[in-house]
Amino acid sequence: MGPDKNLSSDPPAYPPPRTIRLTLEYDGSAYHGWQRQSNASSIQEVLENCLHRLTGQEVRLHGSGRTDAGVHALGQVAHLVTQAALPLGAFREGLNSLLPREIAVLEAREAPPTFHARYDARAKTYEYRILNRPVPSPLHRHRCWWLAKPLDPGRLQQATAFIVGEHDFSSFQASGGSVKSAVRNVMAAHWEERPGGWRYFRITANGFLRGMVRALVGTLVEVGWGKRVPADLKGILAARDRRLAGPTAPAAGLYLVEVIYDTALTL
């Protein structure tokens, strides 16, 4: 009798690994930031738990960067590597059916195997929202910084011009940062006035230090109130001393708007 042709010593075939890129929107009010914590709920933890339910596999999700407790995102990017043979659309529709209403997957797409959401990011854009009117907003209390005292828009714009370009932003770095260099290139920064007392500060840079945007906003607000002159920003940058800058603006007003990658990283 010959060998049983139904028997084989070959290992079972598994689907090849896939790199899936997710674009996310979330309200960070109830979460302790992006990164998984041992004693508090985070955006990463919630997403990884839902991915496990969706794929049946343990999944590690890598974000483009951390957002602090209470900070929001309009376009956070993350990636995962999985062997799940799910249709691409299932990563959006399936996850959104499992996620709490504070988190949503805007887009899911295939990415090159080498893609990394954090290390391949070329730039990011953040937005900070201030409600500058006499009366606070009950509807937006977790999504902005309410300031009753009027801000001078001209002084805000003049001061903001000093932070554009490549500088050492040590004066605007929160304690606990572990980066080797505090030099960052701010490609664009400006203020926008909107109806109803809204003021939006938008900034794009090749990278951000811990607490950098919120420290910048807190300092610029002092300029807008006349406590500092616009040119003070130049001296604060040169000093590389956090004690000389203004207060840290509340997390509630900060939004990660966009993460920018080379077009070659898109399949």
> Which whole-number Å values give the CA distances from 162 to 30, 84, 211, in the listed order?
35, 49, 19
- Rg of the chain over all Cα atoms, to the nearest angstrom: 22
The CATH code that applies to domain 18-119 is: 3.30.70.580
**In the prediction, which pLDDT does 159 show?**
98
Q: Is 4 a catalytic residue?
A: no
Residues of the chain with CATH 3.30.70.660: 123-260
Comma-separated ranges of CATH 3.30.70.580 domains in the chain = 18-119
Alpha-helix residue ranges (DSSP H) falling in the chain: 43-55, 88-98, 153-160, 212-224, 232-239
Query: How far is residue 88's CA from residue 107's CA, in Å, rounded to a whole number?
Result: 10
Q: Which of 45, 12, 9 is nearest to 26 (CA)?
A: 45
Which residue matches tokens 């956070």?
76
Contact 131, 201 (CB under 8 A): no
Helix (H, G, I), strand (E, B) or coil at 28: helix
Among 4, 10, 27, 68, which one carries the catalytic annotation?
A: 68
Angle (CA) 125-128-131 rounded to 5° is: 155
Distances from the Cα of 143 to the Cα of 29, 61, 203, angstroms? 8, 26, 18
Sign of torsion, CA 43 45 51 54?
Answer: negative
User: Looking at the domain that runs over 123-260, which CATH code has it been given?
Assistant: 3.30.70.660
Taking only the tens of pLDDT, the chain with its 267 residues reads 555 555 555 655 567 899 999 999 999 999 999 998 888 899 999 999 999 999 999 999 999 998 999 999 999 999 999 999 899 999 999 999 999 999 999 999 999 999 999 999 999 999 999 999 999 999 999 999 999 999 999 999 999 999 999 999 999 999 866 788 999 999 999 999 999 999 999 999 999 999 999 999 999 999 999 999 999 999 999 999 999 999 999 999 999 999 999 875 554
Name the nearest CA neighbour of 187 among 160, 210, 214. Answer: 160
- State pTM to two decimals: 0.91
The pLDDT value recorded for residue 263 is 73
Q: Of the candidates 229, 227, 218, which has an alpha carbon nearest to the alpha carbon of residue 253?
A: 218
Question: Is the distance from CB of 158 to CB of 222 less than 8 angstroms?
Answer: no
Q: In angstroms, rounded to a whole number, what is the distance separating the alpha carbons of residues 261 and 178? A: 24
